[in-house]
Structure 1
């Protein structure tokens, strides 16, 4: 019987897949969720070679009701010790558009905010009853800034950030630790879609190690690389009109999600 049960969303690639590989070992059962069944199986194969037992589920997180049912089923079968809500969308404003489309805004809000909030709330209640558990939510350093190119992304990540620290305040008395992960640029398929400067790009395996240490130690917030803690403070002290003028000068292009990249 596995000693630990870890459920990871967004496990088909990027940080989620790297975390699955990091945690994989004998005595650990991994429940891996993602959109791509084929890529999930690749992650699962690596985890099994390291001794973990693995279940996979191809799921669309815009369908929150289905996600909640699947979460309850996984926890009923074997109590979840660590829930890592890593899945996310990062679309930016299309070239020559004034803002993101309403359809993109709704989908991104579900994947980045509404569904993970519902899942974390359900799991927090279950873990609090057991007086044990860890929940990690994937924010972003983008949540610290008013990004004209990514209004929905930065807004949804800001929402998940405030929810995470509020849930941390609620759950600490019940020995349930909630960790907000706020990374900068990490070398994943998501970042590989971007054309433009990606300052202080972090290798995905290094990012996974940092995140896992934060979760395992029960810390409340992880911001990395450290330089983004400084940019956060800088925008806080700058007058907003000046900060907005600077941010409007950002020049980033994004390839369509299904377009192949050289690193994919």
Structure 2
């Protein structure tokens, strides 16, 4: 059966922005929305890979515009969003770009520069972009914003404080934004995936339960947006773990989390380079 175009709030079928579109989940989302006939605005850090994805999408007969941008520069991202929205309204903004890192067994702490980098890419810039999107969408009385977080937001992970902390901030921001924009006809969806087989996750050395493919993750996200779902957690096991995290007393939870171990290979040495898309 032929896929039907997804709708944003109020039935709009405008342009779709996807950040992190040069690989992983973002690239698969771009392909899915291209198949559905949606014009695309694709952002990514790697201009070459981004253009390759854009060519795939143009083969579906849709208009595709690309922009190479490093999301560590939040002010540039806000300006770019407003310019792109003014050129052609964005009715669905999927903020999927992210960066993962953790301290190694030889490090007592995470590097200050890494903490700043993850805070900007995973929390500050996507939140600011979501605010810019909200400004425009509220004015038009329609639109949908998607923020891609992580199940790491539910847990205090001692070897990945910057990553889990940045995703926790994004989770709280998304929940607040959802409530604020609901009366204005603008939807907000938070996505909290577990392990997905991307370049970033391939850097992680250790057990990765219920590993999802990027294509499977993208299909789940599109379905959640179609339904106007406020929060999607997948795989389902992580919904259960989230509940357990709430009811377990802190001393026991702290002991359990302190027993977790993981490692990673340096950026650029895994399949793909593990850097932000």
What is the TM-score of this pair, normalised by structure 2? 0.91
Q: Does the CA contact (< 8 Å) of 1:179 and 1:215 recur in 2?
A: yes
For residues 181 and 134 of structure 1, the distance between their equivalents in structure 2, rounded to whole angstroms, comes to 13
Deviation at 1:48, TM superposition (A): 1.0
**Bigger relative CO (Cα 8 Å, ≥ 6 apart):** 2
1:163 aligns with 2:176: no
Deviation at 1:158, TM superposition (A): 0.6
Report the counterpart of residue 217 of structure 2 in structure 1. 207
What is the TM-score of this pair, normalised by structure 1? 0.96
Select between 146-155 and 237-246 the one with higher mean Cα deviation: 237-246
Structure 1 stretches lacking a partner, 5+ long: none
Report the counterpart of residue 258 of structure 1 in structure 2. 268
For residues 8 and 157 of structure 1, the distance between their equivalents in structure 2, rounded to whole angstroms, comes to 18
2:252 to 234, 237, 242: 242
| SS class of match (1:28) | coil
Deviation at 1:26, TM superposition (A): 6.9
1:54 to 64, 89, 109: 64
| SS class of match (1:93) | coil
Report the counterpart of residue 182 of structure 2 in structure 1. 172
Q: Deviations over 1:72-112 (max 9, x none)?
A: 01100110010000001110112311221100001110000
Q: Does the CA contact (< 8 Å) of 1:11 and 1:34 recur in 2?
A: yes
Runs ≥4 residues deviating over 4 A: none
1:92 to 90, 94, 102: 102
For residues 28 and 105 of structure 2, the distance between their equivalents in structure 1, rounded to whole angstroms, comes to 32
Report the counterpart of residue 6 of structure 2 in structure 1. none
1:150 to 133, 139, 160: 160
Select between 241-250 and 216-225 the one with higher mean Cα deviation: 241-250
Aligned length: 263
Structure 2 stretches lacking a partner, 5+ long: 1-12
Select between 241-250 and 41-50 the one with higher mean Cα deviation: 241-250
